[in-house]
Structure 1
């Protein structure tokens, strides 16, 4: 019997109410009521992890928890850059599950579109507060509350915009470049007990990135060697790998998940 046949048979034998065996591991995922963050949460729950997810929209967060399963997920509403929210989220995860093995820093914002010459500096500060400083805050807290003594892994969601020029989303790109460097710094300082890696996606089909492909998806997808835009499940799979034992000798890396679009940077 081939592996595919075995997988298909296992799926057929599974009843609708079945859940994967509890892995005993717990993840805190920021900005996870929808989009990439939810895709990551879904992937981790599917392998048996439990998750604490955060998000600004309380209703959307409740719906996400319901879809993930109230026995596997809790939601903590709040803004990622709010230090009080960071503490509450970590404390809630510890109270509910007793541990935080994995942290996925996904919360992000991109409120401006235009040239850097016209960038409002207050907007730039807001972008960095949400996209970078909040990630550091969550990392510090999970380190102190659990990971320093018990180990684990951190995955920072960066962006292809952080490792290449991306016209009109410069503030976002700068913040994601900082996220890549934050990954390097934390990987060095938290070793050997905690592994820290990043994922740099290209355009993923989410509401957050909708302006980059809306009304021209086929045209946008045609520029990708693999012929399509990303979906949240693509990033969820990458995050599942980087928080698994299969990546146990990987730290300080930024995994580009981009459908091959970065290959075009060298093509004239």
Structure 2
């Protein structure tokens, strides 16, 4: 049984759909209740999914989501930290302190807190698997989204550290997508998708299903000897030196 944060649409919803297809029951979270209820319908209704709305970095929301998942499904085996924000665009030194703190709170400290709560509620005693959704922006310099990249680099190292700390019972891995066609990434390709895709050896941008398949694999028993790794899912972008 799983929690997927930031799952009312885009990558998070695609991950939840893939997990439901594989037999899991899923708690999906996001800020707005309306889109979350629509997501539950897409996932097959109350027999397959529940929704808990709230801000990912809110401790009360984290506690409620974990408690309701264990109450509804009897266990919590899988956690996907998908929520991420990038509220500003431009030179990193021009970002004000409040915005910088918020990016780090949501993209780094919130995943740490979710993992702690999952460990305490179920995984610490019974085992489990975690996947953090990072970004190729955390691997190379990325114009205009520098602090977002810093936060994702931190998330990838958090993945390594927690894999070492929580093994063998809890596996912790990450995926690092390039540009995926979602509302979140619209500014990266809108109106110039064909041009943007030329930088990729695969000659297309990603779609949510590309990431969902990688996440589902890392959560599955097929990946039982994989922990502390970041799987780059980028259509070959980073092998050409581009981000």
Q: 1:143 maps to what in 2?
A: 119
Q: Does 1:124 align with 2:100?
A: yes
2:17, 2:180 → 1: CA distance?
Answer: 16
Residue 119 (structure 1) shift? 1.3
How many Å separate the matches in 2 of 1:159 and 1:150?
Answer: 30
Q: Which residue of 2 aligns with 1:44?
A: 19
Q: Secondary structure at the match of 2:173?
A: strand
Count the aligned residue pairs: 241
Alignment match of 2:170 (pick from 167, 170, 194): 194
1:59: which partner in 2? 34
Q: SS at the partner of 2:187? A: helix
What SS does structure 2 have at the residue aligned with 1:219? helix
**5+ long unaligned stretches in structure 1:** 1-25
What is the aligned partner in structure 1 of residue 63 from structure 2?
87
Q: Take 1:259 and 1:128, find their aligned partners in 2: how far apart are those partners? A: 27
Name structure 2 gaps, 5 residues minimum: none
Shift of 1:69: 1.2
SS at match of 1:175: helix
Q: Deviations for 1:81-117, whole angstroms, at most 9, x for unmatched residues?
A: 1010000000010110011100000011100000012
**Cα RMSD after superposing both structures:** 0.8
1:73 maps to 2:49: yes
Select 1:245's aligned residue among 221, 234, 241.
Answer: 221
Deviations 1:199-252 (A, max 9, x none): 000000000000000000011111110011000000100011001111110000
Looking at structure 2, the residues matched to 121 and 177 of structure 1 have their Cα atoms a distance apart, in angstroms, of 19
After superposition, what is the alpha-carbon deviation per residue over 1:160-184, rounded to whole angstroms, capped at 9, x for unaligned? 0011110110111011011001101
Aligned to 1:27: 2
Provide the rounded CA distance (Å) in 2 between the counterparts of 1:260 and 1:31.
Answer: 26
**Paired residues for 1:94-243 under 5 Å:** 94-243=70-219
CA distance in 2, matches of 1:97, 1:187: 25
Q: C-alpha distance in 2, partners of 1:169/1:61?
A: 27
- The structure that has the greater radius of gyration is 1
